[in-house]
Chains A and B, each alone.
Chain A
Amino acid sequence: MNFELLLQLIINGLIVGLLYGVVGMCFVLVYKSTQIVNFAQGEFLLVGAWVCWAFLIYMELPFVVGFLLTLCFMAVFGVLLQMIVLRPMIGEPIISVIMVTIGLSIFFQSLTKWIFGVSPQSYPKVFDTQSVSVFGLNIELAYLMSTIIALCIMVGFFFFFKYSKHGLAMRATAFDQQVAQSLGISVKQVFAMSWGIAATVSATAGVVIGMVNGVSDSLSSIGIKVFPAVILGGLDSIVGAIVGGVIIGVLENVAEFFDSQYLHIGNMYDIAPFYVLLVILWFKPYGLFGTRDIERI
């Protein structure tokens, strides 16, 4: 058994898993505050990464400026999306809401394919050195940066929800919309804000992944991979999303390792999370940290 390779894969899984956790967190944020399951989460990554790429390549802006402009763009994008498309859907049955986000995801996926093409493009180099050695393991600098960014976002989320006024308003809305409304919180604003935050933070993850692997339409598949992660953690738990993301990230790498060494089934990297998903839904549908739906008659 090749322990070195396994360890490397587990570390990779942790790094990728943290990014899944970040995207999952945005997903949970939208779900908690607006009760909308966002199937277009992956397209936020995709659009964000492409927009940033366009800023850097076509307008030749320095990375920091381009990145900040992208974040502003994505915040406006998310808010507008909520106002134009999702606001009329309040109160509609769940299938309609799901389908609207699926419609959005198809639309933006093909729009980016149309505008930017299907071949992957790489970002201009940001760092001089490619990889650093941490405890004797080679880790790409971009990966290290992605881990730091992911951790920063998580800490940021924590302080935002714990101490800021808007974060408190969002938590109140998630807890009980009517009570929040009667206390003077603008629920409309909270809805728009949660979409804006989700779009911005997902775009950050998109840019980070784009810097490591290049930008292509495969970025949107992260939006699908997030489902196993958030279901494992519990659909309405932000901590659960992070834990679920890390577990799924490690799991797909470990599954890939055992498959390539012993089983030779193939394609385990992509498909193992979905088997896990089915198993969780079967035995523990509310995940590790999710609240149980109790229905009263």
Chain B
Amino acid sequence: MSSLAMRPCGDFRTSYKKDNTIFETKTIRLVATLAIAAACFAPLVLDGYFLTLFIQISYLGIAALGLNILVGFTGQISLGHGAFFGFGAFASAWLNTSFNIPVALCIPLAGFLTMAVGMMFGMPAARIKGLYLAIATLAAQFIIEDFFARAEWFSGGSSGSMAAPVNLLGFEFDTDQSFYYIALFALVFMYIWGCNLMRSRDGRAFVAVRDHYLSAEIMGVKLNKYRLLSFGISSFYAGIGGALYAHYLGYVSAEGFTIFMSIQFLAMIIIGGLGSIKGTLMGVIFMVLLPEMLETGVGLMKYTDWGNIPMVTDGLAYIKEMAIGLVIILFLIFEPEGLAHRWAQIKNYWKFYPFSY
């Protein structure tokens, strides 16, 4: 998809179909297939901690891809993605407990419900853009957050709501090992869908709206329709991610879905690379591993000369938050195109190995 990566010698595109493939070369396709196949056997080898991390990466990754479709591909700004993620989580739990819909069906339904809510709040996007839109979505974040705290019929109010584990044909996916497969399936499915979306007519329209909305409008792209659609799709992804989160943890409480979460989603896509599907996943992995790395680093510190500094060990939660803020700033100043760009550079370096400049 990306034109940044160098293509191998003699690989000419002779048709639009070839130009549009998800995987540029046979090798990349082979590696991707093998990676997915290898991931299927991961629960046999890895222990619970790594599986938890992977499941976290997958539900956050799905939601972050949604945000990247909105921000990176359509050029709209949303500061309310965390609230939509939360809405998906509550919606799925609510559908399951109130209407007795099987959980496997609740997850996509929650996605559609979130999509409707997202489109409702995305409606100002038809009239305003840029900065004003950012502030409108900020308002959406606070209003939805307030709704969670208030609507007891929906979210259980301050006590939160329970979410049953996924149950498919009588089999309960209630352990890390079994839920891992649900998460893996959802991740692969949503990412392939995202790739396919971006090479369809709608995806090209999104990119056109981002790059030059006036030209896009003159060429017959309906601006309002695509801005709204982008909001809808992005919220759909957030809803699916949130629903997976709910049924993985088994319990949803209203405190988690603050503006800080929305900022974390934005940080993921900025670190990974705006407008890059591969980059989204890299950014999510980075952001999930960053606090874990800090924790390990602080844990290792007591074996060094510094010993145990109580200020650091007690304030670890704040240090993690500070690290997130710092990482956002550093990436924007030094690597505004994100990890995806860095990855392409590394690849090019090795491709021309002795002769790169």
Q: Which chain A residues in 69-109 approach chain B with CB under 8 Å?
A: 85, 88-89, 92, 94-96, 98-100, 102-109
Does any Cβ of A come within 8 Å of B238's Cβ?
no
Residue ID in chain A nearest B213 by CB atoms: A295
- Chain B residues with CB under 8 Å of A37's CB are 131, 134
Q: Are B336 and A96 in contact (CB under 8 A)?
A: yes
- Chain B residues with CB under 8 Å of A114's CB are 315, 318-319, 322
**Minimal beta-carbon separation of B221 from chain A (angstroms):** 16
- Chain B residues with CB under 8 Å of A88's CB are 333
- Chain A residues with CB under 8 Å of B77's CB are 94-95, 98
Q: Are A111 and B318 in contact (CB under 8 A)?
A: yes
Q: Are A278 and B124 in contact (CB under 8 A)?
A: yes
Q: Are A278 and B139 in contact (CB under 8 A)?
A: yes
- Chain B residues with CB under 8 Å of A267's CB are 146, 149-150
Given contacts A37-B131, A231-B135, A267-B149, A106 and B324 within 8 Å (CB-CB): yes
Q: Which chain A residues in 228-284 approach chain B with CB under 8 Å?
A: 228, 231, 235, 265-267, 270-271, 274-275, 277-278, 281-282
**Minimal beta-carbon separation of A251 from chain B (angstroms):** 14
Main secondary structure of the interface of A (DSSP, over half): helix
- Chain A residues with CB under 8 Å of B168's CB are none
Q: Are A275 and B318 in contact (CB under 8 A)?
A: no
Interface centre among B135, B149, B259, B263 (most CB of A within 10 A): B135
- Chain A residues with CB under 8 Å of B142's CB are 224, 270-271, 274
Does any Cβ of B come within 8 Å of A110's Cβ?
yes
Given contacts A98-B77, A271-B146, A103 and B329 within 8 Å (CB-CB): yes
Q: Are A110 and B321 in contact (CB under 8 A)?
A: yes
Given contacts A114-B319, A267-B146, A271-B143, A102 and B328 within 8 Å (CB-CB): yes
**Residue from A105, A224, A271, A282 in contact with B138 in the complex, judged by beta carbons closer than 8 Å:** A224
**Minimal beta-carbon separation of B151 from chain A (angstroms):** 11
**Minimal beta-carbon separation of A160 from chain B (angstroms):** 26
Interface residues of B (CB under 8 A from A): 71, 77, 124, 127-128, 130-132, 134-136, 138-140, 142-143, 146, 149-150, 214, 259-260, 263, 266-267, 270, 274, 315, 318-319, 321-322, 324-329, 332-333, 336
Q: Which 7 A-B pairs have the closest CB atoms?
A: A107-B325, A103-B328, A106-B325, A110-B321, A114-B318, A274-B139, A103-B329
Interface residues of A (CB under 8 A from B): 37, 85, 88-89, 92, 94-96, 98-100, 102-111, 113-114, 224, 227-228, 231, 235, 265-267, 270-271, 274-275, 277-278, 281-282, 285, 295, 297
18 of the cross-chain contacts (CB-CB < 8 Å) are A88-B333, A95-B71, A98-B131, A98-B134, A103-B324, A103-B328, A114-B315, A114-B318, A224-B259, A227-B135, A231-B132, A265-B150, A270-B142, A274-B139, A275-B143, A281-B124, A281-B135, A295-B214
